[in-house]
Amino acid sequence: MHVIKVKDYEAMSEKACDILVKEMKSNERAVLGLATGSTPEGLYKRLIEKYKNHEVSFKQIKTFNLDEYVGLDKSDKNSYYYYMNDKLFKHIDIPPTHAALPNGKAENIAAECERYEKKIKNAGQIDIQVLGIGLNGHIGFNEPNTPFTSRTHVVKLDESTRQANARFFHSIDDVPTEAITMGIATIMDSKKILLLASGEKKAEILAQVIHGEITEKVPASVLQKHPNVTIIADEAALSKVKI
Ligand SMILES: N[C@@H]1[C@@H](O)[C@H](O)[C@@H](COP(=O)(O)O)O[C@@H]1O
């Protein structure tokens, strides 16, 4: 794992943007894996700037998001579909058919998981997968004890994850109980992985991910086994890591 320590959230976003732009410049048909949450918002703002300054085009880029809540409509402000459209897609020239998320409103969720996994496979490998990290070490919505061999599947969300994400909803009762997520093996198939972390509240879990045992109890610890992982984290998030 290559760890890049930066000063703060802005510097993390800047560095992540540089890496994605470099990838898109070297391969205009790059396949990007994208994440939601607060962490990548600064990255998306910068990518929009780069697009507006004609430095990059997304016309031939394909994207796959990690996850989506089950049961939320695309028009629901808390769906990841809405988030991605609002924070990135509607501001750039990506063809809507190239920007994929799991469909959390599919009638048959199991079939939807299979369809999504196949769609990723058909696009070839994901060139760079962007990840945030949950406080319990989840990546995508792969909660602790998800098998490392998992493919896209439906998950029951941890109470701690629902609590952590409740800030976006009216109340905790409105937070969905299930989600569709790329599996850990799906994520590990990516050629490169970029894990972003900012803030003191990520310090404990990040230390476990970098120095701890590789265990399904800490889903992100699997990244130690991936040949090309870059962690970009700020000083606060790395405050418990010796580097
Ligand atoms: N499913 C998402 C994850 O993909 C994300 O990494 C995590 C951390 O979110 P944040 O970046 O807001 O800390 O939250 C959610 O649960």
Average of pLDDT values for 217-242? 97
239 belongs to a structural domain: no
Token readout for 30 is 């790059």
Catalytic residue among 23, 65, 67, 142: 67
* Percentage of residues in the chain having pLDDT higher than 90: 97
pLDDT at 102 over 80: yes
98, exposed or middle or buried, with CB in 10 Å at 0-12, 13-18, 19+?
middle
Domain annotation covers residue 194 = yes
The answer, yes or no, to whether any atom of ligand 1 lies below 6 A from the CB of 38, is yes
Looking at residue 207, its pLDDT comes to 98
Mean pLDDT of the chain: 97
Write down the pLDDT at residue 242: 81
Position 242 in a domain: no
Is the distance from the beta carbon of residue 197 to the nearest atom of ligand 1 less than 6 Å?
no
Alpha helices, DSSP H only, in 92-224? 109-122, 159-165, 184-188, 203-211
Taking the C-alpha atoms of residue 182 and residue 14, their distance in angstroms, rounded to an integer, is 26
Q: What is the mean pLDDT of residues 44-61?
A: 98
The residue-averaged pLDDT of 212-232 equals 98
- pLDDT 10s digits, 110-128: 999 999 999 999 999 999 9
Residue 115 lies in a domain: yes
pLDDT single digits (tens) 19-34: 999 999 999 999 999 9
Task: Check if 66 has its Cβ closer than 6 Å to any atom of ligand 1.
Answer: yes
State the total domains in the chain: 1
Phi and psi at residue 43, to the nearest 5°: -65, -45
- What is the spatial distance between Cα 147 and Cα 119, in angstroms, rounded to a whole number? 22
Residue 53 lies in a domain: yes
Look up residue 90 and give its two tokens.
Answer: 């509607």
Q: State whether the beta carbon of 161 lies less than 6 angstroms from ligand 1.
A: yes
How close is the Cα of 133 to the center of ligand 1, in Å?
6
Whether 203 is covered by a domain: the verdict is no
pLDDT digits (tens, 9 = 90+) for 126-139: 999 999 999 999 99
Do 120 and 185 form a contact (C-beta atoms < 8 A)?
no
174 catalytically annotated: no
Q: What is the ipTM of this complex?
A: 0.95
The answer as to whether 174 is a domain residue is yes
Place of tokens 């792969």: 142
CA distances from 232 to 91, 138, 170, 236 (A): 25, 17, 32, 12
Domain assignment present for 6: yes
Average confidence (pLDDT) over 77-103: 97
Q: What pTM was computed for the model?
A: 0.96
Domain interval for residue 181: 2-198+210-215+224-234
Q: Whose CA is nearest to atom 15 of ligand 1?
A: 37
Q: Are strands 192-197 and 229-234 parallel, antiparallel or unpaired?
A: parallel
- The CATH number covering residue 94 comes to 3.40.50.1360
| Amino acid 29: pLDDT | 97
Q: Please state, in angstroms and as integers, the Cα–Cα distance from residue 147 to each residue in 5, 63, 150, 214, 224, following that order.
A: 30, 25, 5, 12, 15
